[in-house]
């Protein structure tokens, strides 16, 4: 089935969608292996589910921004291609589940028509750029981070430097020093600051955090700079990514995140390598006010307005007479917990608490109607899986509350202890070990019944993940849980690992939680009940939960919760997970959080040839820096293929170059002197990206690829084609 494009879909997006459709056909006809196709589709937002034969589609929404019409479009495609549900994630994306693979190009086309992309929403690339939902209206912000988040998103979308990284890369921008976007757990976190002229050059800039990450071994980011000028932030990020691409681990997937590279090199050496890359950058400064990549033909045309100015009130906003009881307890509680006055006097923001982050398509369309009637056309998906509406007049709050209440979106307690953040867990995810949704419902119900005033507590945040990988961000919850399992005799029961002390303390410092104890999952409500009661009874007046945890210490809480881990008291119910009726079994599939390495020589040479095509295209469009980086990847990918043909394993790009010099020096078609190949390849960061340099470098990369192809042909002629079992061994290595 061919795809028809509207004028709203950029040429770059059209090419991506057609390419996806071709690859789907190639995969279906056996022209591509599962691993080849997996790597390809992940970078296009198509993610395998726990259920065979269907996909999760991840929609990339930079800093969570979405218009009312875009929300309607997502709801429409969910009805047409998915289940009619919209799942908001902790990275401010929206996910659709149970999509047929063959439908994904059509789904993507309809989203691109509304200015929404799937490109690089998954896979080993720069993921969605997150940002504080309050950006632009936050009373505490020095300036609006929204245009900067969007500029970063646009700059790295389809950027050659991040198309074939060893692992994913995450960037977050907080609106103030409170770090509400959790920059401290990201590869790069940005905190906006204004420096007075007496402190140097003055003006807008950012504090920069580097090397944070969650997963099985979480790391808090380190401060790499207290202030980088706004025009140098994007070039700095590019230099960091280039270092990560060059030196980051690529074989041992569990060690391939940037946090490990920073930990191995140390901050000072990492900064030295950033400096080494600076000369090769496409742009040494980047002023977002001059336009978003207006010189590039490769950027999706998004409908998002980028304005670094105050909001202009809507001229045709309506003020209907409200009939709700303004004095009702529910309404007053909602006002206190879900509404705040913006930095723009006389305007209010309304925050929507959404159970599990799930919203039905009819609800989403109705919400879009309320936005058009009562708010500014700038909805934000929040990092705790809710939504934020902006620029509501006070005289519209009662009517808006009525409308939201009718949709089930006026539940008080947004981003409080009662508002739990969670991933889908075993409902859809291959890696999940136990049910996240079920335990979340159980905990929220328990708190509603036993701790009704918890909706006023903004100190304690509860976060749940279905496994240790942390999509629910359990390591930065003041109280966190992640799915696990426990053996009891010959049987296995679902379990929760309890973490305490993540998130922020009373001084506003970001912290990572400690693993305290593992308990059967059905005892989760008992554990939370004990923690909340103990805090109510023993904390000092006004003491933050993390400060209380630090004062009491981990052994205190371990002793408190240890009786719940006693397996002598298990019942039959302990062997049944939440939301299930049958006995629990562990069924963990193959993870898709990033692409799997492909180690077939022929496939790798095909990749090198494709990258040469990209280099030639960039040359033709006078994009010299892009042509250089594509050519660099031709060298790397070709050398990797050559080394694999000799059973030489490498785990970094730098290692590939070094090993090639060692193994192939003096062979026919290659350099005759040691380190000559290294000198050639790594000259990429020794010169400015000029036309002459790019033309020469691309030509040499083509010559090198030709030499590797010839070498491979000679090897096959001499040794014969590799046996099937050898190919499989190469793929598994």
Q: What is the pLDDT of residue 290?
A: 60
Q: Which two tokens stand for residue 52?
A: 């065979």
Among 381, 378, 366, 375, smallest CA distance to 394 is for: 375
What pLDDT is attached to residue 207? 97
Please give the backbone phi and psi of residue 623, each rounded to the nearest 5 degrees, phi first. -95, 80
Contacts of 21 (CB under 8 A, 6+ apart): 3, 105
Using CA atoms, how far apart are residues 89 and 97, in angstroms rounded to an integer?
13
Q: Are 331 and 398 in contact (CB under 8 A)?
A: yes
Q: How confident is the model at residue 597 (pLDDT cuts 50, 70, 90)?
A: very low
Q: Which domains does the chain have, with CATH numbers?
A: 11-112 (3.90.480.20), 130-290 (3.30.413.10), 329-406 (3.30.70.3340), 421-575 (3.30.413.10), 601-732 (1.20.120.330)
For residue 655, give the H/E element and its range.
helix 653-664
Interatomic CA distance for residues 598 and 563, integer angstroms: 47
Rounded Cα distance, 455 and 453, in Å: 5
User: Residues near 529 by Cβ (< 8 Å), separated by ≥ 6?
Assistant: 446, 450
Structure tokens at 231: 């025009």
123 sits in the region (left: phi over 0; alpha: psi -120 to 50; else beta) called left
pLDDT of 247-271, one tens digit each? Answer: 999 888 888 899 999 999 999 999 9
As a whole number, the mean pLDDT across the chain is 88
Phi, psi dihedral angles at 566 (to 5 degrees): -70, 115
According to the model, what pLDDT value does residue 354 have?
Answer: 97
Angle formed at CA 476 by CA 474 and CA 477, multiple of 5 degrees: 65
The larger pLDDT score, comparing residue 595 to residue 39, is at: 39
What whole-number distance in Å separates Cα of residue 255 and Cα of residue 468? 15
Question: What secondary structure, in 3-state letters, does 507-540 show?
Answer: CCCEECCEEEEEEEHHHHHHHHHHHHHHHHHHCC
The predicted-structure confidence for 631-673, as pLDDT tens digits, reads as follows: 999 999 999 999 988 888 888 999 999 999 899 888 878 877 7
Rounded Cα distance between 546 and 10, Å, is 48
Mean pLDDT of 504-523: 93
| Phi, psi at 508, each rounded to 5° | 80, 15
Task: Return d(Cα 667, Cα 136) in angstroms, integer.
Answer: 60
Contact 131, 175 (CB under 8 A): yes
Q: Give me the DSSP letters along 598-652.
A: ---HHHHHHHHHHHHHHHHHHHHTT-HHHHHHHHHHHHHHHHHHHHHHTT---SS
Contact 724, 649 (CB under 8 A): no
Angle formed by the axes of helices 653-664 and 624-645, nearest 10°:
60
Pairwise pLDDT comparison (667 vs 129), residue with the higher score: 129
**Token digits of residue 560:** 């408190």
Contact present, 651 and 252 (Cβ < 8 Å): yes
Half-sphere exposure of 442 (CA within 13 A, CB side): 19
**131-152 pLDDT, tens digit each:** 999 999 999 999 999 999 999 9
Helix axes 11-28, 34-42, angle to 10 degrees: 160
592 pLDDT band (50/70/90 cuts)?
Answer: low
From 473, 156, 151, select the one nearest 307 (Cα to Cα).
151
Residue 599 binned pLDDT confidence (cut-offs 50, 70, 90):
very low
User: Measured between alpha carbons, how far is 439 from 436 in angstroms, rounded to an integer?
Assistant: 6
pLDDT digit string (tens) for 325-350?
566 889 999 999 999 999 999 999 99
The angle at the Cα of 146, spanning 142 to 147, to the nearest 5 degrees, equals 105
Give the CB-side neighbour count of residue 184, counting CA atoms within 13 A.
16
The model's pLDDT over 605-631, given as tens digits with 9 standing for 90+, comes to 888 999 999 999 999 999 999 999 999
pLDDT value of residue 14: 94
Question: What span, in angstroms and rounded, lies between the C-alpha atoms of 5 and 11?
Answer: 10
Mean local confidence (pLDDT), 166-186: 96
Task: Inform me whether the pLDDT recorded for 89 exceeds 60.
Answer: yes
**Cα–Cα distance for residue pair 72/83, rounded to 1 Å:** 15
Which of 142, 144, 122, 121 has its CA nearest to residue 132?
Answer: 144
* Burial category of 498 from C-beta neighbours within 10 Å (exposed 0-12, middle 13-18, buried 19 and up): buried
- The residue among 259, 180, 190 whose CA lies nearest residue 227 is 190
Phi and psi (nearest 5°) for 503?
85, -145
User: Which of 674 and 417 is assigned the larger pLDDT?
Assistant: 417
DSSP classification of residue 705? H
What pTM did the predictor assign?
Answer: 0.89
**For the segment 430-481, what is each residue's pLDDT rounded down to a tens digit?**
777 888 999 999 999 999 999 999 999 999 999 999 888 888 999 999 999 9
pLDDT at 716 (0 to 100): 81
Cα 639 from chain centroid (whole Å): 31
User: Percent of the chain, pLDDT > 70?
Assistant: 90
- The C-alpha atoms of residue 466 and residue 443 are separated, in whole angstroms, by 15
3-class DSSP assignment, residue 263: helix
Q: Which residues pair with 219 in a beta bridge?
A: 213
């Amino acid at each position: 089935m061919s795809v028809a494009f509207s004028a709203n879909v950029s040429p770059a997006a059209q090419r991506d969608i057609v390419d996806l459709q071709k690859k789907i056909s190639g995969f279906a006809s056996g022209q591509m292996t599962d691993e080849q196709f997996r790597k390809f589709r992940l970078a296009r937002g198509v993610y395998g589910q726990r259920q065979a034969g269907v996909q999760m589609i991840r929609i990339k929404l930079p800093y969570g921004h979405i218009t009312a019409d875009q929300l309607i479009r997502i709801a429409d495609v969910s009805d047409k291609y998915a289940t009619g549900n919209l799942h908001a994630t902790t990275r401010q994306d929206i996910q659709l589940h149970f999509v047929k693979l063959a439908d994904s190009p059509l789904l993507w086309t309809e989203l691109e028509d509304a200015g929404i992309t799937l490109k690089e929403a998954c896979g080993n690339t720069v993921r969605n750029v997150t940002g504080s939902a309050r950006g632009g209206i936050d009373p505490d912000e020095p300036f609006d981070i929204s245009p900067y988040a969007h500029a970063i998103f646009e700059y790295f979308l389809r950027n050659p430097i991040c198309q074939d990284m060893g692992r994913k890369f995450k960037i977050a921008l907080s609106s103030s020093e409170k770090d509400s976007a959790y920059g401290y757990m990201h590869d790069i976190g940005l905190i906006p600051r204004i420096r007075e002229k007496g402190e140097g050059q003055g003006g807008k800039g950012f504090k920069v955090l580097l090397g944070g990450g969650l997963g099985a071994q979480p790391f808090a980011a380190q401060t790499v700079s207290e202030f980088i000028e706004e025009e140098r932030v994007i070039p700095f990020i590019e230099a960091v990514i280039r270092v990560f691409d060059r030196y980051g681990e690529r074989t041992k997937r569990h060690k391939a995140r940037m946090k490990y590279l920073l930990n191995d090199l140390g901050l000072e050496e990492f900064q030295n390598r950033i400096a080494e890359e600076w000369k090769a950058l496409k742009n040494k400064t980047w002023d977002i006010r001059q336009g978003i990549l207006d010189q590039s033909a490769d950027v999706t045309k998004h409908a998002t307005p980028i304005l670094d100015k105050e909001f202009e009130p809507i001229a045709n906003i309506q003020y209907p007479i409200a009939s709700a009881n303004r004095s009702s307890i529910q309404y007053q509680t909602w006002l206190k917990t879900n509404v705040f006055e913006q930095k723009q006097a006389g305007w209010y923001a309304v925050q929507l608490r959404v159970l599990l982050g799930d919203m039905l398509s009819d609800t989403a369309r109705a919400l879009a109607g309320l936005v058009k009637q009562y708010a500014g056309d700038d909805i934000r998906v929040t990092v705790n899986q809710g939504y934020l509406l902006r620029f509501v007049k006070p005289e519209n709050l009662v009517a808006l509350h009525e409308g939201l209440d009718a949709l089930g979106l006026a539940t008080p307690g947004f981003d409080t202890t009662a508002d739990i953040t969670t991933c889908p867990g075993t409902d859809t995810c291959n890696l999940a070990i136990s049910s996240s949704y079920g335990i979340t419902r159980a905990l929220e119900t328990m708190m509603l019944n036993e701790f009704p005033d918890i909706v006023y507590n903004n100190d304690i945040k509860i976060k749940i993940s279905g496994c240790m990988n942390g999509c629910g961000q359990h390591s930065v919850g003041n109280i966190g849980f992640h799915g696990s399992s426990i053996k009891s005799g010959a049987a296995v029961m679902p379990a929760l690992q309890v973490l305490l002390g993540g998130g922020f303390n009373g001084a506003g410092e970001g912290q990572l939680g400690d693993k305290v104890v593992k308990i059967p999952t059905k005892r989760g409500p008992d554990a939370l009940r004990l923690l909340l009661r103990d805090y109510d009874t023993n904390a000092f007046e006004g003491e933050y939960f993390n400060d209380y945890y630090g004062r009491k210490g981990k052994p205190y809480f371990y002793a408190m919760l240890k009786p719940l881990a006693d397996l002598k008291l298990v019942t039959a119910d302990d062997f049944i997970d939440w939301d299930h009726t049958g006995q629990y079994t562990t069924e963990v599939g193959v993870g898709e959080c990033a692409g799997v390495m492909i180690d077939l020589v022929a496939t790798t040479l095909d990749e090198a040839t494709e990258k040469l095509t990209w280099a030639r295209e960039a040359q033709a469009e006078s994009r010299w820096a892009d042509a250089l980086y594509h050519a660099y990847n031709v060298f790397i990918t070709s050398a990797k293929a050559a080394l694999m043909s000799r059973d030489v394993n490498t785990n970094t790009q730098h290692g590939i170059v070094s090993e090639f010099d060692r193994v192939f020096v003096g062979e026919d078609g290659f350099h005759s002197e040691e380190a000559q190949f290294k000198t050639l390849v790594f000259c990429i960061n020794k010169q400015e990206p000029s036309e002459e340099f790019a033309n020469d470098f691309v030509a040499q990369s083509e010559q090198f690829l030709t030499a590797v192809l010839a070498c491979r042909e000679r090897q096959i002629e001499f040794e014969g084609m590799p046996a099937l079992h050898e190919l499989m061994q190469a793929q598994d290595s």
